[in-house]
Amino acid sequence: PSPVTSLSVSNVSTTGIAVNWTIPSSDNYVTYYTISYTPSCPQLSSVNDTVSVDPHQSTTTYSYTLIGLYSGMNYTITVRAGNVLGGSELSRSTVQTEARTPSGWPSSIQVLQVNSTANRFTWNEVNCSERNGLITGYTVIISNSSITYNLTSTERYIILNDLVFGTEYNISVAAVNSVGRGPFSDPIVVEIGIVPGPVGSVSSIMDTTWAVISWSVPSYIPSDYPIITYEIGYHILFDKCCFSMVDDDDIDNQMLQFINSTNGATFTTQITGLDAMSCYIFGVRAYTDRGPGGWVFIANETLISTQFVTLTTCTQEVGSTNTVSGAVDGASIGLGAVVGLLLISLAVSIIIHIYCFIKLKTYDAITAKQT
C-alpha cells in the first residue's frame, strides 16, 4: 500500500501520546499498521506495535494511543501501512512527552582538593530515563552539626572556598528541571583537606611500543597526610582519536602503582608493551593514607613501526673504477630504500590523521544528536 499521510500527535501527557494519520488513498487495501516509537535516551530501546485493521473499513483516519512512555522524553514515531504483499514506506513524526520533576538523582559525588582553601565537588548526571525533562541545574546541600549550605549550580560541579580543614561534612545533590527539583542523593560524608590536589604538568614521550610519562607534585598536599604513592592508569582508545576529550571513566584497567616514588618535585615512569600506531589515554593521581586525589589525563599516540631493509652488495674487485661504481650503486640503492620507506610512512600517517579527523566529527555529531 501507499504510505499513510497527515501523521500527527494529540493528547500528549507525561506518559502517553495519541498518534493520528490518514489511511492510504490507493486501491491497495491495508490489513495492519506497524507503529514504532524510539526514545532519545540511548539506554532505552525502540518499541514496535502492530495493529490489525479491517481491510474494508470506511473511515479515512486512524488513531492509536501510546502508553507507558517516559516523561519529558523526545520520541521519534513512525507508522507503516501493510498487507499480505508487504509494507509501505515509513511516515515519521517527532514529539516530546510532558515533563515532570526528576525521579532520579545524581550519583558518584566526589570531593577534590583544588588548593589549601578551595574544594571542588563533582557528580555524575541523572540517568536519562529518570530526568523527566531537560536538566537545567542542581541543588547541593553541604552540612555538618553547626552549619548548612544550600547551593545551586548549572554545571555538574561546584567550588567552595570556606570549608573548615579537617571537618566532616554531609553532601547531597538533587537535579532540577523546568517542573521542579527531584530527590536528593543519599548523603556522603567527607572530611575536608585529607586528600591531595591533582598532580601538575603531566607530559608524555611516545615511541612505537613504549611511553615515558612525567608529572610534578600536586600544588596542595595535606600537612598531616603526606603522599605515599602515585598511581598511573592507562589503556588504548578504540573509539576516539587522541585529540578528543577524555575523562576518568576511560581509566578502567592496567593500573600501576609506584609506592616508593614520593621524594622529589618531578617524577617519570616508562610504560612498555604498547601497540604501535595506537592512541592511549594516561592518567596520574596522588595518594595519601586517606585516599586519592583527582585524575589528570593526557592522550597521545604511539609511533608507526618502520622496518628498514639492510641491503648487502657482494662485488668482485676487478679494478679501481668498478669498485668505486659498485660502492656508489650500493649506497644509492640503500638511500633510495630508506627514502622510499620514509615516504610510505608519511603517507600512512597522513591517511590515519585524516581518518581520525573524520571519525571525531562523526563521534561529535552522534554525541550532539543523543544530547
Please give the share of the chain, as a percent, with pLDDT higher than 70: 73
* CATH code, 200-301: 2.60.40.10
What whole-number distance in Å separates Cα of residue 80 and Cα of residue 62? Answer: 12
Q: What is the pLDDT of residue 314?
A: 41
Per-residue burial over 35-63, b if 16 or more Cβ lie within 10 Å, else e, is bbbbbbbeeeeeeeeeeebeeeeeeeebe
Is residue 337 scored above 50 in pLDDT?
yes
- pLDDT-wise least confident of 185-194, 264-273, 333-342: 333-342
Please give the share of the chain, as a percent, with pLDDT higher than 90: 39
CATH superfamily of 5-96: Immunoglobulins (2.60.40.10)
Contact 285, 267 (CB under 8 A): no
Contact 274, 301 (CB under 8 A): no
The DSSP secondary structure of 174-240, one letter per residue, reads EEEESS-B-PPPPPEEEETT-S----EEEEEEE-SS-EEEEEE--S---TTS---EEEEEEEE-SSS
Residues 188-242: pLDDT tens digits? Answer: 998 877 778 888 889 999 999 999 999 998 888 877 788 888 888 888 877 656 6
The better pLDDT of the pair 117, 208 is held by 208
Report residue 8's pLDDT band, with 50, 70 and 90 as the boundaries.
very high
What whole-number distance in Å separates Cα of residue 296 and Cα of residue 250? Answer: 12
Is residue 131 scored above 50 in pLDDT?
yes
Q: Where are the alpha helices (DSSP H) in the chain?
A: 320-370
Report residue 244's pLDDT band, with 50, 70 and 90 as the boundaries.
low
Is residue 107 scored above 80 in pLDDT?
yes
Element counts in the chain: helices (H) and strands (E): 1, 23
Segment 152-161 mean pLDDT: 91
Instruction: Work out whether the CA dihedral 11, 17, 18, 24 comes out positive or negative.
Output: positive
Best mean pLDDT range from 153-162, 321-330, 347-356, 358-367: 153-162
Segment 57-62 mean pLDDT: 76
Best mean pLDDT range from 78-82, 144-148, 238-242, 359-363: 78-82
Each domain of the chain, given as residue ranges in start order, spans 5-96, 107-191, 200-301, 307-371
Is residue 328 scored above 50 in pLDDT?
no
Contact 89, 80 (CB under 8 A): yes
- pLDDT-wise least confident of 12-26, 47-61, 269-283: 47-61
Of 83, 81, 31, 79, nearest to 57 by C-alpha is 31
CATH architecture of 107-191: Sandwich (2.60)
Q: What is the pLDDT of residue 10?
A: 94
What count of other Cβ atoms lies within 10 Å of the Cβ of residue 257? 12
The better pLDDT of the pair 360, 327 is held by 360
| Strand pairing category for 17-22 and 168-177 | unpaired
Q: Do domains 5-96 and 107-191 have the same CATH topology?
A: yes
| Strand pairing category for 32-39 and 211-216 | unpaired
Is residue 333 scored above 80 in pLDDT?
no
Find cell 621524594 and name the residue.
263
